[in-house]
Amino acid sequence: MATNRKKVLVPHIMGQLGKDVLASRDDIDMVTYSATITQADLLPLLADAAGVALSGTPYQRTEMDASPAMQVVARIGVGYDAVEVPALTARRVPLMVAGAANSTSVAEQAFHMMIALAKQNRALDGVVRDGRWGDRRDVLPMELSGKTILIVGFGRIGTRTARRCLGFDMQVLIYDPYVDAALITAAGCSKVSDLDAALPAADVVCIHCPKTQETVGMFNAARFARMKPGAFIVNTARGGIIEEKALHAALTSGHIAGAGLDVFEAEPTPRDNSLLKLPNVIASPHMAGVTTEAVAAMAVATAENILSVLDGAPRRENVINKEVLD
C-alpha cells in the first residue's frame, strides 16, 4: 500500500452508495470486514487503518490501542453506546455519527407503533384470522387525536416524532433538560422540567434519548407506577433505558396498556423473553432506523464523515466529542 493512501475499514453491510463514495477516491483503500467479526480478527485490521466505519461492532480502549494510525471512527447510525468515547478523545480521534440520515425512519417507526397500539392492530388482526368476528368489540381501539404524548428526548428524532403527533392533533409534552424551552415552544410543544410530575398526564410515552449513565434504567418500577393507568410506552432508542422486568410487571398488572419495543436489554433478545409472550407487546428487531432510504443515506453520510476528517475539514455538526477539534 502506497504511503500516500489511507486504509478505511467498512462493514460488509454498509450501503453500497457509501462504499461507492469511498471507492471513487484514488487515495483511499477500502477494506471490507464482516459485521460479525470477532475482536481477535478485527484488531490486526486496525493496525494501519486511518478510518473505520462501525455498524454494531464495539470499539473500546482495546481497539483504540490497536489503532496507532486511526484518525476517525464513524458510526453508521446515531447511537454510540458501544464506543468508548473517552478512549477516542484521549487520542484526539473524532467520533462521527450519521446525523439525521435515519431520523425520519425512526420517527415513522415510533409513530407506527403508537398507532398499532392505539388501534389494537394485533388483537383485531387475530380476530379476523381466527374467525372470531363476534369478539371484535371486546377490545376497542382508541383515537390518538386529543391525547397527550410525552416525548423523552427532543433531538433529530424526537423533533420529527413531535411533528407527526401534532399532525394528529395530539398534545405534545417534551422532557429534555438539554433543550431550551423556547425551541420547544416554537415547535408547538410544551416543555416539562420534571419527568416524574409529567408522567401521570401522558397517554403515550415515547423514548428518543441516548443511552447514557443518566438514562440507563430511566423507566423502572417507580416510573411505571407514576404513569397514567392505561398508557402506552414506545422505545425505539436503546435497550436498557427501560427495565424489562419492571415493564413486564406493569403490563401484566394492566397498569400499562401496551408497549412497542424496537430495542431490548440484550440483542438479539432471547426467544423466551417474557415480554414476547404478552399480547399487548409489539416488537421489531432494532430495525427502526433501517429502511431502504435510511441505509443509503447513512452509508453516504458515514463515508462523507470519514473523508471530511481525512481531508482536514471535519463535519463538526456530526462529531460527538467536539473537544478534539479545538
Pick from 222, 56, 257: which is nearest to 141 by CA? 257
Cα-trace Rg, the chain: 22
Let me know: does 28 contact 9? Beta carbons within 8 Å.
Answer: no
Q: How far is residue 9's CA from residue 73's CA, in Å, rounded to a whole number? A: 10
Cell numbers for 172: 405534545
Let me know: does 72 contact 94? Beta carbons within 8 Å.
Answer: yes
Q: How far is residue 235's CA from residue 261's CA, in Å, rounded to a whole number? A: 5
Peptide bond preceding 279: is omega within 30 degrees of 0, i.e. cis? Answer: no
Task: State the catalytic residues.
Answer: 238, 267, 286
Cell numbers for 23: 471507492
Residue type, 265: E
CA atoms within 13 A on the CB side of 261: 27
Let me know: does 320 contact 59? Beta carbons within 8 Å.
Answer: no
Cell numbers for 166: 401534532
Helices 103-118/156-167 angle, 10° precision: 40
Strands of the sheet containing 72-75, edge to edge, are 28-33, 6-11, 49-54, 72-75, 95-96
For residue 59, the 8-state DSSP code is B
For residue 28, the 8-state DSSP code is E
Let me know: does 316 contact 325? Beta carbons within 8 Å.
Answer: yes
